[in-house]
């Protein structure tokens, strides 16, 4: 009786298809695979002369960024435009919230602009869920990153990179290295890898950067990078932020690089054909050596291209789910 | 009703197509099949014509006109056009023509690749159920169905036409 | 006014009474139990067949929100909610505006409670001036004005030395100090229990050690100073065990736990619902089970609501931006009944933790039914049901149990022989 039963997944419609894209948590393997397959098709679109398809023509996608980001914002913009949607970008961080407007009031104002879809980035974990719960249900909410919680499109583009260059997840060893504690990318990656059947997911960091309870999610924890990188097929390096030096988490960037940085020697511990990923922007000489970042096994630039295709896939599939739900609701109304 | 046999239709189409192309002075067209059934028919046609040129494959999911009603269910295989479209003569092949919307989507997609010199439309079956003014240049057979009937092409080997009755209309 | 209550099953944990008996009330006091006293003619008869009569509940921690936080609640609204929950005596916390650190504020609260309230209010005074943790508040003056104990809430003292001195001062005058053990540095920035759920929800964690480190320090200082101590809102199993050990070696400390802490765990945070945002946080299943054991054994002798009503806006934001607190004083008995039904403890134990246990912890003249005692009692229907929210009294609707159907229903609450709440369908 108590505690209450878990809510029906907020991001799925009555037929179990995506209507928001908030986190990879709870999405079935078949759905993640569908996103990857759809993205493959969109990659093909990106390779030809006219890089557009008319799927979202006449629709408006609104980038609502409460937290600044050039990279994520521009790839979402590009993705929406390639789907023939109209795009507006609102950097809310610089305007109303600093004037004391509540988040719900900002949302009401945005709703009045009649966009079909919001891509949201916010500094607080759970913000995308909150927005999806409090905005009119037929606006699709895409999570562009919320606090430490999730960055689902980044997770999916990392998975696409892995699938295209290393194949079947069930045969891979994947290592995620760096500031796991503060990383939404790490969390989304761990969930995606688990769902897609990766049997050996490794996180590598000093104890101060490892959150509690990871083992409960089927992840192998290493504090020794030389042990953790042995024979891995994929290395995902995370960005180390300057602020981590405060508060006793790390003594210096130099020591972090000496102990955990991806140098050529460390890369050699992995499988000879291992690939290197990084969500960007990279800190050369802090988490990754310049030579490694630029070597042929580095997928960092490919990730950007795949990111556009993944975001096109997510935007289309979510819009599709919203349309389907609208249809279902109309049918329900008629039968009453 | 007796259903036509693709094994008989394909050679007839091939023959008619060759005559049609000759009459229009089209020398070396490229073949494009609409995924999935159109690709099967196209492959069978190319084999019949002893044509070893690569086949273009179109996935029209992203160009359909019913996205806002039924959404995206992409049985996804990316489109693959291993040749230039601009100034090329094309033979566009689909299995069953019904409303004409699939062909419209295919034409829109092709034009996003480039401006073809011409497009000849070949369909295995025409159901005479047009909703748009699009008509195949060459047809294997014409069928008239009841309200509750549908046809489906099975394949790729052997190709066969199946009749389905839908109960819940 | 003479009242006769017929046919109730009277459970008085203080005297270990549990029997079917009639209750006779005159002039606000209980004058007889059992047989009708000679010459007694009732002005009002209450048919209590099928109901359980128990002393009015004693709630050690309630935020009345007055003075100063009118959007969240008032003495009138929250004591009315208390009455609906079967509470007849409550302790209000010092986090008011202005803070409860002057006799004037105490007077204001007691006056309002007497004039507009539905409950006996026993103010908890601020332990330090302005709750700033630097200078002692005028403890004796506050005691004389009516404060029954002193608390600094979750706000830390500036140093252990200042804390020690404050405790020694309180001990000089036999005053009770209430501790909310949480180390501010270990807890800093945290909003949820540091564990697997917070990890995957990306919520900053408050480790178990935030409570146990502070608790250990507090227990040693209590021992050194000899002050009367009550530990409030324990959330960890480890913390409960530390208290048990201290009691075992002769330290007369008492402790309470929030009712919701015996039911909810960190799992509730899965959907980021701000209704589960509380401070100190909901912890693991193991912690909850450890707390239940401690309540059952009596190491924790009191259960309090830790009632914190909020206006809707306070909970309408992403999790970390919302204000912590649950409004639940109306649900003390139904939630207790759900635990009894689950077999966590038996009904007399549950009632003891809600009546005589809290009263004894702060030496309050409350929580017992006896001849000559004030007629503060509650009649509840163990077979009834409470639909949460249906007759909601609190100004704060921030309750995660909203719309749930809970077992048991309060039918009558009497304060000094007057009916302060009635719900008979």
Render pLDDT for A56-101 as a digit per residue (tens, 0 to 9).
999 999 999 988 888 899 999 999 999 999 999 887 765 555 567 7
DSSP state of A21: B
pLDDT score for C139: 97
Buried b (16+ CB within 10 A) or exposed e, A178-207: bbbbbbbbbbbbbbbbbbbebeebbbbbbe
Mean pLDDT value across residues B99-105: 94
Mean pLDDT, chain B, integer? 90
* Six token digits for residue B155: 């394949």
How many angstroms separate the CA atoms of C151 and C155, rounded?
9
The secondary structure of A115-171 as a DSSP string is -SEEEEEESSTTHHHHHHHHS-TTSEEEEEEETTTB-HHHHHHHHHHHHHHH--GGG
How many angstroms separate the CA atoms of C239 and A44, rounded?
60
Q: Which of A173, A289, A197 is nearest to A237 (CA)?
A: A289
How many angstroms separate the CA atoms of C87 and C393, rounded?
13
How many angstroms separate the CA atoms of B60 and B102, rounded?
7
Segment holding A62, helix H or strand E: strand A60-65
Q: Is the pLDDT of residue A110 over 90?
A: no
How many angstroms separate the CA atoms of B56 and B46, rounded?
12
How many angstroms separate the CA atoms of C261 and C268, rounded?
11
Which of A52 and A242 is assigned the larger pLDDT?
A: A52
Q: Which residue of C has its CA nearest to A147?
A: C202
Which of B70 and C264 is assigned the larger pLDDT?
A: C264
C271 with A217: Cβ contact below 8 A = no
Q: Could you give the percent of chain B with pLDDT greater than 90?
A: 69
How many angstroms separate the CA atoms of A53 and A46, rounded?
10
Mean pLDDT value across residues A316-325: 92
A 12-51 residues inside an 8 A Cβ radius of B: 17, 34, 37-38, 40-41, 43-45, 48-50
How many angstroms separate the CA atoms of A61 and A44, rounded?
23
pLDDT score for A94: 55
Residue A247 pLDDT grade (very low, low, confident, very high; cuts 50, 70, 90): confident
Segment holding C10, helix H or strand E: strand C2-12
* Six token digits for residue C22: 């009639």
Q: Which residue of A has its CA nearest to C319?
A: A126
Say which residues have a Cβ less than 8 Å from residue B95's Cβ, sequence separation at least 6.
B34, B37, B38, B40, B41, B123, B124, B125, B153
Instruction: State the maximum Cα–Cα separation within chain C, in Å, rounded to a whole number.
Output: 69
The interface predicted TM-score of the complex, written ipTM, equals 0.91
pLDDT score for A111: 87
User: Out of B59, B72, B112, whose CB is closest to A316?
Assistant: B72
pLDDT tens for each residue of A215-241: 988 999 999 999 999 999 999 999 998
Strand partners, C123: C92
Identify the chains in contact with B, defined as 3+ C-beta pairs within 8 A: A
Mean pLDDT, chain A, integer? 91
Residue A45 pLDDT grade (very low, low, confident, very high; cuts 50, 70, 90): confident
CA A324 to chain B, closest CA, distance in angstroms equals 6
Identify the chains in contact with C, defined as 3+ C-beta pairs within 8 A: A
Residue C48, CB half-sphere, CA atoms under 13 Å: how many?
29
CA A95 to chain B, closest CA, distance in angstroms equals 34
Q: Which of C80, C62, C86 is nearest to C11 (CA)?
A: C86
pLDDT score for B168: 59
Burial zone of A4 (CB within 10 Å; 0-12 exposed, 13-18 middle, 19+ buried): middle
pLDDT score for B157: 86
Q: Is the pLDDT of residue A2 over 60?
A: no
The 10 Å Cβ neighbour count of residue B43 is 18
How many beta-carbon pairs below 8 A join chains A and C? 94
How many angstroms separate the CA atoms of C143 and C131, rounded?
16
B59 with A45: Cβ contact below 8 A = no
CA A125 to chain C, closest CA, distance in angstroms equals 6
CA trace torsion C389, C390, C391, C395 (10° rounding): 30
How many angstroms separate the CA atoms of C151 and C92, rounded?
11
Q: Is the pLDDT of residue B120 over 70?
A: yes
Segment holding C354, helix H or strand E: helix C347-354
CA A210 to chain C, closest CA, distance in angstroms equals 9
pLDDT tens for each residue of A140-191: 999 999 999 999 999 999 999 999 999 999 999 999 999 999 999 999 999 9
Instruction: Please state whether at least 3 CB pairs lie below 8 Å between chains A and C.
Output: yes
Q: Which of C32, C80, C43, C106 is nearest to C423 (CA)?
A: C80
Region label for C153, one of left (φ > 0), alpha (ψ between -120 and 50) or beta (otherwise): left
Q: Is the pLDDT of residue A1 over 60?
A: no
Residues of chain C with pLDDT under 50: none
A 92-151 residues inside an 8 A Cβ radius of B: none
C271 with A127: Cβ contact below 8 A = no
Set of chain C residues whose Cβ sits within 8 Å of the Cβ of A25:
200
The count of residues in chain C is 425
Q: Could you give the percent of chain A with pLDDT greater than 90?
A: 70
Q: Which residue of B has its CA nearest to A37?
A: B76
- Strand, helix or coil for residue A232: coil
The count of residues in chain B is 169
* Selected residue of A52, A53, A330 to mutate for chain B interface (largest B Cβ count, 10 A): A53
Phi and psi at C229, nearest 5°, equal -130, 140
Phi and psi at A100, nearest 5°, equal 95, 10
Q: Which of C227, C191, C184, C225 is nearest to C206 (CA)?
A: C191
* Six token digits for residue A247: 């508060």
Q: Is the pLDDT of residue B109 over 90?
A: yes
pLDDT score for C160: 96
> N- to C-terminal Cα distance for chain C?
24
In this prediction the pTM is 0.91
Q: Is the pLDDT of residue A3 over 70?
A: no
């Amino acid at each position: 009786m108590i505690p209450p039963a878990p809510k029906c997944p907020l991001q799925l419609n009555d037929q179990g298809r995506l209507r928001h894209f908030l986190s990879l948590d709870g999405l079935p393997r078949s759905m993640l695979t569908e996103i990857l397959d759809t993205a493959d098709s969109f990659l093909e679109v990106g390779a030809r002369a006219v890089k557009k398809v008319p799927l979202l023509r006449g629709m408006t996608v609104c980038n609502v960024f409460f937290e600044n980001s050039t990279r994520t914002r521009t790839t979402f913009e590009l993705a929406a435009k390639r789907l023939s949607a109209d795009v507006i970008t609102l950097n809310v961080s610089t305007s109303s919230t600093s004037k004391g407007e509540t988040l719900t009031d900002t949302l009401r104002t945005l709703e009045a602009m009649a966009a079909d879809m919001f891509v949201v980035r916010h500094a607080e974990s759970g913000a995308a869920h909150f927005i999806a719960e409090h905005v009119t249900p037929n606006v699709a909410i895409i999570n562009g990153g919320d606090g430490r919680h999730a960055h689902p499109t980044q997770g999916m583009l990392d998975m696409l990179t892995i699938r295209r260059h290393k194949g079947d997840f069930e045969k891979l060893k994947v290592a995620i290295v760096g500031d796991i504690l503060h990383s939404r990318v790490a969390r989304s990656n761990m969930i995606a890898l688990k769902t897609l059947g990766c049997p050996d997911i490794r996180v590598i960091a000093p104890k101060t950067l490892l959150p509690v309870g990871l083992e409960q999610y089927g992840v192998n924890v290493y504090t020794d990078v030389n042990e953790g990188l042995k024979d891995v097929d994929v290395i995902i390096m995370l960005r180390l932020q300057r602020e981590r030096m405060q508060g006793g988490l790390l003594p210096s960037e130099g020591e972090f690089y000496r102990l955990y940085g991806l140098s050529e020697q460390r890369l050699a511990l992995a499988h000879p054909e291992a690939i290197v990923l990084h969500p960007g922007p990279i800190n050369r000489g802090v988490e990754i050596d310049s030579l490694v970042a630029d070597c042929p096994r580095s997928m960092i630039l490919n990730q950007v291209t795949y990111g556009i295709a993944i975001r096109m896939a997510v935007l289309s599939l979510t819009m599709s789910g919203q349309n389907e739900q609208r249809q279902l609701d109309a049918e329900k109304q008629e039968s009453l | 009703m007796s259903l036509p046999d693709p094994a008989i239709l394909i050679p007839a189409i091939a023959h008619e197509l060759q005559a049609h192309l000759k009459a229009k002075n089209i020398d070396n067209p490229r073949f494009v099949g609409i995924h999935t059934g159109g690709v099967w028919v196209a492959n069978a046609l190319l084999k019949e014509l002893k044509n070893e040129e690569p086949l273009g494959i179109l996935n029209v999911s992203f160009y359909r006109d019913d996205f806002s009603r039924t959404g995206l269910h992409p049985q996804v295989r990316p489109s693959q056009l291993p040749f230039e479209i601009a100034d090329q003569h094309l033979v566009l092949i689909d299995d069953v023509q019904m409303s004409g919307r699939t062909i419209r989507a295919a034409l829109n997609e092709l034009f996003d690749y480039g401006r073809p010199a011409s497009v000849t439309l070949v369909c295995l079956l025409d159901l005479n159920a047009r909703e748009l003014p699009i008509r195949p240049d060459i047809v294997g057979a014409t069928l008239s169905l009841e309200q509750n009937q549908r046809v489906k092409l099975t394949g790729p080997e052997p190709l066969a036409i199946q009749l389905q009755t839908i109960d819940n209309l | 006014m003479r009242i006769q209550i017929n046919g109730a099953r009277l459970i008085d944990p203080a005297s270990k009474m549990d029997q079917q008996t009639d209750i006779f009330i005159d002039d606000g006091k209980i004058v007889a139990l059992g047989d009708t006293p000679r010459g007694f003619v009732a002005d009002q008869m209450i048919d209590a067949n099928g109901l359980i009569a128990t002393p009015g509940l004693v709630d050690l921690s309630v935020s009345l929100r007055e003075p100063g936080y009118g959007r969240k609640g008032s003495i009138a609204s929250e004591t009315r909610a208390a009455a609906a929950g079967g509470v007849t005596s409550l302790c209000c916390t010092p986090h008011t505006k202005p803070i409860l650190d002057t006799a004037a504020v105490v007077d204001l609260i007691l006056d309002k409670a007497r004039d507009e309230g539905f409950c006996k209010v026993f103010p908890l005074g601020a332990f330090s001036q302005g709750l700033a943790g630097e200078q002692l508040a005028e403890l004796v003056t506050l005691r004389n004005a009516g404060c029954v104990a002193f608390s600094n809430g979750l706000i830390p003292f500036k140093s252990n030395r200042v804390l020690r001195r404050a405790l020694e001062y309180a001990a000089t005058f036999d005053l009770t100090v209430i501790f909310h053990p949480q180390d501010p540095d270990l807890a800093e920035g945290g909003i949820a229990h540091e564990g697997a759920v917070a990890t995957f929800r990306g919520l900053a964690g408050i480790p178990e050690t935030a409570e146990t480190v502070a608790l250990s320090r507090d227990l040693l200082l209590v021992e050194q100073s000899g002050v009367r101590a009550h530990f409030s809102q324990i959330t960890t199993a480890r913390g409960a065990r530390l208290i048990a050990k201290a009691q075992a070696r002769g330290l007369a400390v008492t402790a309470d736990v929030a009712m919701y802490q015996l039911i909810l765990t960190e799992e509730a945070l899965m959907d980021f619902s701000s209704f589960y945002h509380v401070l100190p946080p909901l912890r693991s299943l193991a912690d909850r089970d450890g707390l239940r054991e401690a309540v059952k054994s009596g190491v924790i002798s009191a259960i309090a609501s830790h009632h914190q009503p909020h206006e809707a806006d306070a909970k309408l934001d992403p999790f970390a931006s919302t204000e912590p607190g649950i409004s639940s004083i109306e649900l003390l008995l139904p939630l207790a009944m759900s635990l009894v039904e689950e077999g966590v403890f038996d009904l007399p134990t549950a009632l003891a933790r809600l009546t005589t246990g809290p009263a004894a912890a702060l030496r309050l003249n409350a929580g017992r039914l006896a001849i000559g005692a004030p007629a503060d009692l509650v009649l509840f229907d163990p077979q009834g049901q409470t639909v949460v929210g249906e007759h909601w009294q609190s100004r704060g609707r921030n309750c995660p149990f909203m719309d749930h159907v809970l077992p048991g229903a309060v039918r009558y609450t009497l304060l000094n022989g007057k009916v302060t709440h009635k719900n008979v369908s």
